[in-house]
Amino acid sequence: MTPARSAVVWGIRYGLPGLAIRTAARRGDLIARAAADPSAMDDPARLYADLRALGPLGGNRLVGATARHGVVNSILRDDAFRADPGGAPTQWLNKVMLAAIDPRALGPVDAPSLLAIEPPQHNRIRRLVTHAFTPRAIAGYTDTIREIANGLLDRVAARGGQFDLVDDYAAKLPVTVIARIMGIPAEQHDQLLGIGNDAAMTLDPALTWRDFRAADAAIRRAGVMLDEHIANVRRRPGDDLLGELVMISEDGDRLTDTELRVNTLLLLGAGFETTVNLIGNAVALLLEHPDQLAGLLADADGWPNAVEEVLRFDSPVQMTVRVAQRTTEVAGQTVKAGRGVILHLAAANRDPDVFADPDCFDVTRPEARLHLAFSAGIHYCLGAQLARLEAAIALETLFARFPELATTAPPTRRRTRVLHGFERFPVAAAARVRTAERQ
């Protein structure tokens, strides 16, 4: 993509909306601050409560917004709305942007990514891809995930037990898992991690020009790598997920190379981006609540529900957007065709109408699984079950190996608003490591 075309895409998709959002935020608009200002998360409970106080459906001249669990859930399931993570503010600007996008730089927010398409195209691709994400297939990854988790912890133990939770464990585990599942060679795993981190930034509504260029370059590198890999798999399909996706056919219908490349990139990103944040958020919460951690160490059967409570209490994906495909009514209000609505998933996950004492973290919470952290409706996260399994195994293994895990410096949050997790998380398991050295 030439610099001029890149500038057009960034300006329409992020520059103009970002300027409008930041201007509104400086004027004190709550919806704008919640969407683009990372400092709004300094007091998440207050932010979520303020958003819910806007009513079932709030809004400003730019966009609507809701933080009520029932309304969010309803819109996610309503075919009057479409997902539009990379859409332009107006129809004619969208046409200009689509004309400027380089087909070789299609990312997770571009069609034919499952994030960016609607029925019937969405149904067709998801139906083909879902073959590889059945409950039986996911359950079959258990031993692989446990093996990878233990291998990563062996390495940090060998180095003395001081490590960065994100860089050395929470990020490497899911990227290794999804890359192995997809059949990506081990020597490319670190490259995938860097690509995923950069590409994930495209979900941020106020992405800077500098970050956009980094994301665009990462997506291009991934495209070259995946095109080569897909070509090899087409010649010699293996028994991995990508080999299955290449061979999947229903009535002669198969995924095209572009559909494979874009959705493989989406699966790779979604396969570790949500999970790394989920694991980091979980560790932080459990270290803050040692009594609950002790309960989990005493009863490992509690880990799956603990994961659900982390998803609810500190959601890795904070918000998503839906756009009205036609004029419709929501919560007694008219939403005109073309108007976007921000769905605050994290705030809905603390709605007191659904969750008792919602600002209390409780790994035994019986209704924890009612959260909307993985969305709902046709765009429900395809890898939700894999993320759940990875997180439960990662946490159980980590604390079984290092029950005295502790931070060595304050963790640093990522300065993004859609994805919520940690960038740096220095920890030590020195007490357990020293014990092992004395034996």
Tens-level pLDDT at each residue, the chain (439 residues) = 577 889 999 999 999 999 999 999 999 999 999 998 888 899 999 999 999 999 999 999 999 999 999 999 999 999 999 998 777 777 788 889 988 998 888 988 899 999 999 999 999 889 888 876 788 888 899 999 999 999 999 999 999 999 999 999 999 999 999 888 888 888 888 888 878 778 778 888 889 999 999 999 989 998 898 899 889 888 988 888 888 888 876 666 788 889 999 988 888 777 778 899 999 999 999 999 999 999 999 999 999 999 999 999 999 999 999 999 999 999 999 999 999 999 999 999 999 999 999 999 999 999 999 999 999 999 999 889 999 999 999 999 999 999 999 999 999 998 888 999 999 999 998 644 433 333 3
| CA neighbor of 66 nearest in space, from 102, 99, 31 | 31
CA 323 to chain centre: 20
What distance, in Å, lies between the first and last C-alpha atoms of the chain? Answer: 59
- Give the tokens for residue 393: 């195994």
Q: How far apart are CA 251 and CA 374, in angstroms?
A: 31
Neighbours of 219 (CB within 10 A): 24
pLDDT at residue 155, as a whole number? 96
Q: Which of 73, 45, 155, 6 is nearest to 330 (CA)?
A: 73
Token couple for 62:
């730019």
Task: Quote the tokens at residue 348.
Answer: 């809905």
User: What is the DSSP annotation of 100-152?
Assistant: HS-GGG--TTSTTSGGG--TTHHHHHHHHHHGGG-HHHHHTTHHHHHHHHHHH
Q: Which two tokens stand for residue 272?
A: 């570790």
CB neighbour class for 187 (10 Å; exposed up to 12, middle 13-18, buried from 19): exposed
Number of independent structural domains in the chain: 1
Give start and end residues of each alpha helix (H) in 289-420: 290-298, 303-313, 345-348, 384-401
Q: What is the pTM (predicted TM-score) of this model?
A: 0.94
| pLDDT attached to residue 430 | 64
What CATH number has the domain bearing residue 246?
1.10.630.10
Query: What per-residue confidence (pLDDT) applies to 439?
Result: 32
Give the residue among 376, 377, 358 at the shortest CA–CA distance from 368. 358
CA distance 255 to 408: 48
For residue 276, which of 303, 310, 242 has the smallest C-alpha distance? Answer: 310
Range of the domain at 227: 3-438
Which of 394, 386, 424 is CA-nearest to residue 148? 394
Residue whose structure tokens are 């798999």: 233
pLDDT, residue 1, reads 57
Half-sphere exposure of 262 (CA within 13 A, CB side): 22
- Give dist(CA 310, CA 278) in Å, integer: 7
**φ, ψ dihedrals at 140, nearest 5°:** -70, -10
For helices 3-10 and 209-235, what crossing angle results, to 10°? 110
Return all residues near 343 (Cβ < 8 A) that are at least 6 apart. 65, 66, 72, 75, 76, 319, 320, 321, 322
Q: Which amino acid is at 270?
A: A
Instruction: Note the pLDDT of residue 287.
Output: 98
Q: Which residues pair with 341 in a beta bridge?
A: 64, 322
For 202, phi then psi, to 5°, come to: -65, -15
User: In angstroms, rounded to a whole number, what is the distance separating the alpha carbons of residues 127 and 125?
Assistant: 5
Closest C-alpha to 277, from 197, 339, 343: 197
